[in-house]
Protein backbone atom coordinates (compact mmCIF):
# COMPACT_ATOMS: atom_id res chain seq x y z
CA UNK A 1 0.00 0.00 0.00
CA UNK A 2 1.29 3.44 -0.94
CA UNK A 3 1.27 5.97 1.89
CA UNK A 4 -0.51 9.27 1.32
CA UNK A 5 -2.54 8.09 -1.63
CA UNK A 6 -4.66 10.88 -3.08
CA UNK A 7 -7.83 10.21 -5.01
CA UNK A 8 -9.27 13.03 -7.12
CA UNK A 9 -12.58 12.67 -8.91
CA UNK A 10 -13.71 14.89 -11.75
CA UNK A 11 -16.35 14.78 -14.43
CA UNK A 12 -15.67 15.55 -18.06
CA UNK A 13 -18.39 15.18 -20.61
CA UNK A 14 -19.67 11.62 -20.42
CA UNK A 15 -16.84 10.45 -18.15
CA UNK A 16 -16.01 10.44 -14.49
CA UNK A 17 -12.26 10.32 -13.88
CA UNK A 18 -10.64 9.02 -10.73
CA UNK A 19 -7.01 10.02 -10.43
CA UNK A 20 -4.82 8.08 -8.01
CA UNK A 21 -1.51 9.57 -6.96
CA UNK A 22 1.14 9.34 -4.30
CA UNK A 23 3.38 12.21 -3.22
CA UNK A 24 5.59 11.79 -6.30
CA UNK A 25 3.34 11.01 -9.22
CA UNK A 26 0.02 9.90 -10.67
CA UNK A 27 -0.16 6.10 -10.60
CA UNK A 28 -3.59 5.40 -12.07
CA UNK A 29 -6.48 7.06 -13.87
CA UNK A 30 -9.84 5.29 -13.94
CA UNK A 31 -12.35 6.30 -16.62
CA UNK A 32 -15.93 5.59 -15.67
CA UNK A 33 -18.73 6.27 -18.17
CA UNK A 34 -21.39 8.56 -16.70
CA UNK A 35 -24.07 10.95 -17.84
CA UNK A 36 -22.96 14.11 -19.68
CA UNK A 37 -21.73 17.03 -17.61
CA UNK A 38 -19.77 20.20 -18.26
CA UNK A 39 -16.74 18.91 -16.40
CA UNK A 40 -15.71 20.00 -12.96
CA UNK A 41 -13.82 18.69 -10.00
CA UNK A 42 -16.19 17.09 -7.54
CA UNK A 43 -13.98 15.60 -4.84
CA UNK A 44 -10.43 15.41 -3.62
CA UNK A 45 -9.49 13.14 -0.78
CA UNK A 46 -6.34 12.15 1.00
CA UNK A 47 -6.84 8.45 1.66
CA UNK A 48 -4.87 8.60 4.92
CA UNK A 49 -6.79 11.35 6.70
CA UNK A 50 -10.05 11.44 4.75
CA UNK A 51 -9.98 15.20 4.11
CA UNK A 52 -12.23 16.20 1.24
CA UNK A 53 -12.19 19.53 -0.58
CA UNK A 54 -13.31 20.79 -3.97
CA UNK A 55 -11.10 23.88 -3.98
CA UNK A 56 -7.81 22.45 -5.10
CA UNK A 57 -7.59 22.74 -8.87
CA UNK A 58 -5.22 25.69 -8.66
CA UNK A 59 -2.90 23.95 -6.17
CA UNK A 60 -0.04 22.57 -8.26
CA UNK A 61 1.76 21.22 -5.22
CA UNK A 62 0.39 17.69 -5.64
CA UNK A 63 0.55 15.40 -8.67
CA UNK A 64 -3.21 14.74 -8.43
CA UNK A 65 -4.02 18.45 -8.49
CA UNK A 66 -1.73 19.02 -11.46
CA UNK A 67 -3.29 16.06 -13.29
CA UNK A 68 -6.82 17.31 -12.67
CA UNK A 69 -5.94 20.77 -13.97
CA UNK A 70 -4.28 19.34 -17.09
CA UNK A 71 -7.12 16.89 -17.74
CA UNK A 72 -9.58 19.77 -17.35
CA UNK A 73 -7.57 21.66 -19.98
CA UNK A 74 -7.55 18.57 -22.24
CA UNK A 75 -11.34 18.21 -22.10
CA UNK A 76 -11.80 21.92 -22.79
CA UNK A 77 -9.51 21.68 -25.85
CA UNK A 78 -6.67 23.73 -24.36
CA UNK A 79 -4.15 20.91 -23.80
CA UNK A 80 -2.75 18.26 -26.14
CA UNK A 81 0.25 16.96 -24.17
CA UNK A 82 0.51 16.14 -20.46
CA UNK A 83 3.50 16.83 -18.25
CA UNK A 84 2.25 15.84 -14.81
CA UNK A 85 4.48 13.20 -13.20
CA UNK A 86 3.49 9.58 -13.84
CA UNK A 87 4.83 6.37 -12.30
CA UNK A 88 4.30 3.29 -14.46
CA UNK A 89 4.93 -0.26 -13.31
CA UNK A 90 4.87 -3.17 -15.72
CA UNK A 91 6.87 -5.65 -17.72
CA UNK A 92 9.62 -4.29 -19.97
CA UNK A 93 7.37 -4.95 -22.99
CA UNK A 94 4.40 -3.08 -21.50
CA UNK A 95 6.61 -0.15 -20.51
CA UNK A 96 7.96 0.00 -24.07
CA UNK A 97 4.42 -0.01 -25.49
CA UNK A 98 3.25 2.67 -23.05
CA UNK A 99 6.22 4.90 -23.93
CA UNK A 100 5.51 4.41 -27.63
CA UNK A 101 1.85 5.33 -27.12
CA UNK A 102 2.92 8.79 -25.98
CA UNK A 103 4.42 9.40 -29.43
CA UNK A 104 1.02 9.16 -31.16
CA UNK A 105 -0.02 12.76 -31.70
CA UNK A 106 -3.19 14.41 -30.47
CA UNK A 107 -6.03 13.74 -32.90
CA UNK A 108 -4.07 11.00 -34.67
CA UNK A 109 -4.68 7.27 -34.73
CA UNK A 110 -2.40 4.30 -35.29
CA UNK A 111 -3.10 0.59 -35.71
CA UNK A 112 -1.96 -1.93 -33.13
CA UNK A 113 0.19 -3.51 -35.84
CA UNK A 114 1.87 -0.23 -36.72
CA UNK A 115 2.74 0.39 -33.07
CA UNK A 116 4.11 -3.16 -32.87
CA UNK A 117 6.34 -2.42 -35.87
CA UNK A 118 7.37 0.91 -34.36
CA UNK A 119 8.68 -0.84 -31.22
CA UNK A 120 10.51 -3.47 -33.26
CA UNK A 121 8.03 -6.31 -32.64
CA UNK A 122 6.15 -6.54 -35.97
CA UNK A 123 4.28 -9.74 -35.02
CA UNK A 124 3.15 -8.45 -31.61
CA UNK A 125 -0.04 -6.55 -32.51
CA UNK A 126 -2.14 -8.61 -30.08
CA UNK A 127 0.44 -8.18 -27.32
CA UNK A 128 0.39 -4.43 -27.98
CA UNK A 129 -3.38 -4.59 -27.53
CA UNK A 130 -2.91 -6.41 -24.23
CA UNK A 131 -0.45 -3.80 -23.01
CA UNK A 132 -2.79 -1.00 -24.08
CA UNK A 133 -5.68 -2.72 -22.30
CA UNK A 134 -3.63 -2.75 -19.09
CA UNK A 135 -2.48 0.88 -19.37
CA UNK A 136 -2.97 2.34 -15.87
CA UNK A 137 -3.11 5.99 -17.00
CA UNK A 138 -5.37 6.28 -20.05
CA UNK A 139 -5.60 9.67 -21.77
CA UNK A 140 -2.16 10.71 -20.45
CA UNK A 141 -0.74 7.59 -22.11
CA UNK A 142 -3.16 7.69 -25.05
CA UNK A 143 -4.10 4.07 -25.68
CA UNK A 144 -7.44 5.32 -27.07
CA UNK A 145 -5.55 6.36 -30.23
CA UNK A 146 -4.98 2.71 -31.22
CA UNK A 147 -7.36 1.24 -33.78
CA UNK A 148 -7.71 -1.95 -35.77
CA UNK A 149 -5.77 -2.37 -39.02
CA UNK A 150 -8.93 -1.35 -40.92
CA UNK A 151 -9.43 1.76 -38.75
CA UNK A 152 -12.17 0.17 -36.65
CA UNK A 153 -12.53 0.96 -32.96
CA UNK A 154 -11.52 -2.35 -31.47
CA UNK A 155 -10.88 -2.99 -27.83
CA UNK A 156 -10.53 -0.41 -25.09
CA UNK A 157 -10.54 -1.19 -21.39
CA UNK A 158 -13.06 1.61 -20.81
CA UNK A 159 -15.33 0.54 -23.68
CA UNK A 160 -15.45 1.48 -27.34
CA UNK A 161 -18.07 4.19 -26.66
CA UNK A 162 -15.54 5.95 -24.43
CA UNK A 163 -12.83 5.44 -27.04
CA UNK A 164 -15.09 6.96 -29.72
CA UNK A 165 -15.88 9.90 -27.43
CA UNK A 166 -12.18 10.65 -26.81
CA UNK A 167 -11.26 10.35 -30.49
CA UNK A 168 -14.20 12.55 -31.50
CA UNK A 169 -13.21 15.15 -28.88
CA UNK A 170 -9.65 15.26 -30.22
CA UNK A 171 -10.70 15.32 -33.88
CA UNK A 172 -13.20 18.14 -33.32
CA UNK A 173 -10.73 20.17 -31.26
CA UNK A 174 -7.93 19.65 -33.80
CA UNK A 175 -10.26 20.68 -36.65
CA UNK A 176 -11.35 23.85 -34.83
CA UNK A 177 -7.80 24.83 -33.88
CA UNK A 178 -6.31 23.94 -37.24
| Among 6, 24, 138, CA closest to 71 | 138
Asked if 171 contacts 178 with a C-beta cutoff of 8 angstroms, the reply is: no
Asked if 18 contacts 68 with a C-beta cutoff of 8 angstroms, the reply is: no
Q: 10 Å Cβ neighbour count for 40?
A: 12
| Among 29, 25, 1, CA closest to 157 | 29
Residues marked active site are found at 143
Amino acid sequence: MVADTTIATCRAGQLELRIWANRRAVTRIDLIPSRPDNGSVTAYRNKDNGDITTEYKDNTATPAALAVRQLDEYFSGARRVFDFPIELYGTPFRLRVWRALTTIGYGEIMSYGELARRIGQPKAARAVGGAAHNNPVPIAVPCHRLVGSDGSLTGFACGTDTKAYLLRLEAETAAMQG
